[in-house]
Each structure stands twice: as structure tokens, then as C-alpha cells.
Amino acid sequence: MIRRQRLAAGVCALLAALAAGMAFPGAAEADETQPSAPKVELVLDVSGSMRTQDIDGGSRMAAAKQAFDEVLDATPQEVQLGIRTLGANYRGNDRQEGCKDTAQLYPVGALNRTDAKTAVATLQPTGWTPIGPALLKAADDLNGGSGTRRIVLITDGEDTCQPLDPCEVAREIAAKGVGMTIDTLGLVPDARTRDQLSCIADATGGTYTDVRHKEELSGRVGQLVHRAADPVVTPVATEGAGQCTDAPQLKSGLFTDRAAFGQQRWYKVSVEPGQELRASVSVADDRAVNPGYGVLLRAVTQSGREIVRGEAAGTGRTDVVSTGLRYPKPASDDDNAPAETVCLQVSHSFSAAAGVKTTPGLPLELTVDVVDGPSGHHDVASFGLGRGWWLLGALVVIGFAAGLLWGWLSRWRVAVWRTN
């Protein structure tokens, strides 16, 4: 009887779904707006230096091949993966020809693990290190679609094809606003290679990793490929105001804006009693700027009293500066207590280099998260030690008792010594 009821319920549900699809054809088309499959392209350095044997007793190329085999086996089914090489084909000494040596070894698409592994197995360390040209081609390989797009660059040396600076190439890719991330891995890198690969990754919000062992390489590449399959949070465009009273009201989410040089941007967030506000901001310098910079994020009341702040500063070349803050609001015994409006102020001290346009403002990304605070009516961040007072009291009592006991024992030992 139960099985018949379940079957009948299932049939009814199916008929209802079909009816809804016929009655509301727009609903069936909604799936077309869903993000397309995530795409990843692994860009592998196959230049002559990859023959060097300094990774767990084997060559860098052997370590890369083993890592690729393991990563290809574990690649999520929904990820479209491709492989591009640099320095794999040209064996000569003509620099101009060597700097064109980048080719797609396996096209971005549904993964056939056997074909991809076979293609990787044929690679032999050969030529130059044209990182910049390879990144440009990889960006074209991943073009199209609305899903996550990630380039994972694995190399053991800096680019040998200047003046096409791969760091500038990465900035150009980021400036196009295509939502593409470049992660870099340096195999036994020197300081110059590390600096260049860090710059490439920072320009697109990616990560840089030093690699000196096979397990590290396999594990990190696998993490990055799996990360591409994570849900994408789409930022919401907003426009901050020049003062708090005119600021837009924000809820939890990711927001983008532009902040002109010397300009403050204001936003408002509503925080209920017992809730906690967490916010962070990143400002990217998408053009040449002068050395010396800083980013400030303040949370203030509507009357202008500062609650908490976060700031970051430095000198020299950077691509993104980020800071954050945390504001726990005490819980209230009054269930009808009103929410508090918190004003968030964002400002930066970047200045444009000579001859550089100051408009539009620098890209700004603001993350707002309003969550339930710690349980109970007291919070350590709001009231000093809060419930930690009882622990402090206990320690004082124990310390006092221990002092008395030690003093009594000391006097007793002295008395015994004198009698003897």
C-alpha cells in the first residue's frame, strides 16, 4: 500500500512539473542563464631547464608528468580541462622563433583521461620559456562561457622572452574583466622567478606556490583544479556615496565599485542586536601608481563615532591591497530592540604616476557578511574579558592559596633546619 502511495505521488509530481513547464515556458528557459561548465587550462613549461634533476632525485619534467597523471585521474567530471605547453617544440637558438613556441597539447573540453595522459607522456624538455605568449594564448583557449576560468602555470624559471613582460600580460588579462584567474607554481624557484610568478598571480587574484617535492606539486595542482568547480559568487555592482547619509544600504554579499584618487566611499549595513558584522575591502591598482599606498576600512555610527577599523599600507609595487574588520554587537534582553545602522567608510592613498589618467577610479571589491554572534548576552570583543572574569578570579584565588602554602612550607623548613 505504501509503495502504491509513493508511486502515485511521484506520478503526480511529474505531471505537475510537466504542466508547469507548458504553462510557464520561460521557466524552462531559465536554465540557460546558469553558469556554464568551469574551465581550467594547465600551462606546462617544457623548456630545457626542466631536465634538471633536483626534485626528490628525479627530473623536474618527471615530477610534472607524475603530477599530471594524478591530477587527470582526480579531475571532477564537470570541469572542462585543457593542457598548453611552452618551450616544447623549437630546439634552435633563434630567440624570435623560440618565443613563439607555445602550443595547445590537449584542447579545453570534456576530459578523456587516456588521451590527455598519452599526450603528456610524449613531452621532452626542449627550448625557451615564453611565459607571456603562453598566457595570452591560454586566455584565448578559455574564452567564452560564464563559468569559472582558471589558468594554472607550472614553470621552473622566469620568462626568457622580454620585453613581453608576463606580469603586464596578466594585468592586461585582469583589466579585460573576464573573471579569469592565474595561479602559478614555481619548481625549485630562485628569487627572481618567485617575484615574477607572484606578480603574475597577484594581478588576477590568483595564488603563487613554491614547489620542491613531487607530492607538493600533485597536491597543489589538484586543489586548484577542484577549486574551479566551486560555486562562483557573482559580485553586485553598487555605487558608494560621499557621505553616510546618502550611502546605499547593503546586505551580506560581494560588491564592486570604483574609488577615485583621494575619494572616500560610504556604504550602510543594518546590524541586529546579537549579530556580528564582518567586512573586508580590496582595492586594485589597474594602472601605474606612485610608491607608498594604503587602504582604510572604518565602521562608524551614524553620528560619526568610530567603532572599529582595519588598515593596510606599504611601499613599492603592488596589485591589490586588502584589509578587513570585525564588529560584534552585544545581544539585547529586549526582543524589540532596534537594529543599528553601521556606516562603512572606504578610502585609499594611491596616487597616479605622472602622465597616467586618474579616471575612472580604481576597482574596489567589498565583502559584507552579517552573521549571528556568539551565544549568550556578553561577548569578549565587546566587554573586555566578558565571561572570562570567573576564570581570572579562580586564578587569583589559586595563586593566593599557593603563595600561602609556599610561605608556610618555607618557614617550616627554616624552623626544622634551626632545630637541627
- Given pLDDT bands bounded at 50, 70 and 90, which one contains residue 235? confident
3-state helix, strand, coil in the chain (%, to 5): 35, 30, 35
Burial of 73 (0-12, 13-18, 19+ CB in 10 A): exposed
3-state secondary structure of 401: helix
Of 66-70, 132-136, 202-206, 211-215, least confident by mean pLDDT is 202-206
- Please enumerate in sequence order all residues whose Cβ is within 8 A of that of 304, keeping only pairs 6 or more positions apart, or say none: none
Quick one: pLDDT at residue 18? 33
Quick one: pLDDT at residue 396? 66
Pairing of strands 80-86, 39-45: parallel
Beta bridge partners of 30: none
Output b/e per residue, 206-216; b: 16+ Cβ within 10 A: bbbbebeebeb
Using the predicted structure, report yes or no on whether residue 329 has a pLDDT greater than 90: no
Cell numbers found for residue 115:
588521451
- Taking the CA atoms of residue 68, residue 73, residue 78 and residue 83 in that order, the dihedral angle to the nearest 10 degrees is 20
- The CATH number given to 236-372 is 2.60.120.380
Is the bond preceding 25 in cis, omega lying within 30 degrees of 0? no
Closest by Cα among 185, 183, 187 to 51: 187
CB of 249 closer than 8 Å to CB of 268:
yes
Q: What is the pLDDT of residues 366-392, one digit of tens each?
A: 989 888 765 444 443 333 334 445 555
Of 11-15, 81-85, 415-419, least confident by mean pLDDT is 11-15
Q: What is the pLDDT of residues 100-118, one digit of tens each?
A: 999 999 999 999 999 999 9
Quick one: pLDDT at residue 334? 60
Quick one: pLDDT at residue 13? 38
Fold of 34-227: Rossmann fold (3.40.50)
Quick one: pLDDT at residue 163? 76
Distance CA 239, CA 223 (A): 35
CB atoms within 10 A of CB 290: 14
Distance CA 121, CA 61 (A): 10
Give the helix/strand (H/E) hosting 111: none
Distance CA 310, CA 285 (A): 19
Using the predicted structure, report yes or no on whether residue 32 has a pLDDT greater than 60: no
Beta bridge partners of 259: 362
Give CA separation, 151 vs 109, 115, 170, 181, in Å: 14, 20, 11, 6
| Extended beta strands in 24-79, E state | 39-45, 53-55, 58-59
Quick one: pLDDT at residue 114? 95
Give CA separation, 307 vs 25, 328, 377, in Å: 51, 10, 19
Q: What is the pLDDT of residues 308-324, one digit of tens each?
A: 999 988 776 566 788 88
CB atoms within 10 A of CB 171: 20
The one-letter amino acid at 229: A
Of 219-228, 373-382, 411-420, least confident by mean pLDDT is 373-382
Domain with CATH 3.40.50.410 in the chain: 34-227
Q: What is the pLDDT of residues 124-179, one digit of tens each?
A: 998 899 999 999 999 999 988 778 899 999 999 888 887 788 988 998 888 776 67
Measured in residues, the chain has a length of 420
* Beta-sheet strand order (sheet of 149-155): 102-109, 80-86, 39-45, 149-155, 180-187, 208-211
Using the predicted structure, report yes or no on whether residue 30 has a pLDDT greater than 70: no
Quick one: pLDDT at residue 69? 94
To the nearest whole number, what is the mean pLDDT of the chain?
81
- Please enumerate in sequence order all residues whose Cβ is within 8 A of that of 268, keeping only pairs 6 or more positions apart, or say none: 244, 247, 248, 249, 250, 341, 342, 343, 344
Using the predicted structure, report yes or no on whether residue 28 has a pLDDT greater than 80: no
Closest by Cα among 153, 150, 265 to 199: 153
Domain with CATH 2.60.120.380 in the chain: 236-372
Closest by Cα among 344, 308, 306, 310 to 328: 308
Cell numbers found for residue 354:
605622472
Which whole number is the average pLDDT over 36-61?
94
According to the 3-state scheme, what is the secondary structure of 208-275? EEEECCHHHHHHHHHHHHHHCCCCCCCCEECCCECCHHHCCEECCEEEEEEECCCCCEEEEEEECCCE
Q: What is the pLDDT of residues 238-272, one digit of tens each?
A: 999 999 999 999 999 889 899 999 899 999 999 98
CB of 141 closer than 8 Å to CB of 133:
no
Which whole number is the average pLDDT over 304-309?
92
Distance CA 55, CA 63 (A): 7
Q: What is the pLDDT of residues 70-104, one digit of tens each?
A: 999 999 999 999 999 999 999 888 888 889 999 99
Quick one: pLDDT at residue 22? 36
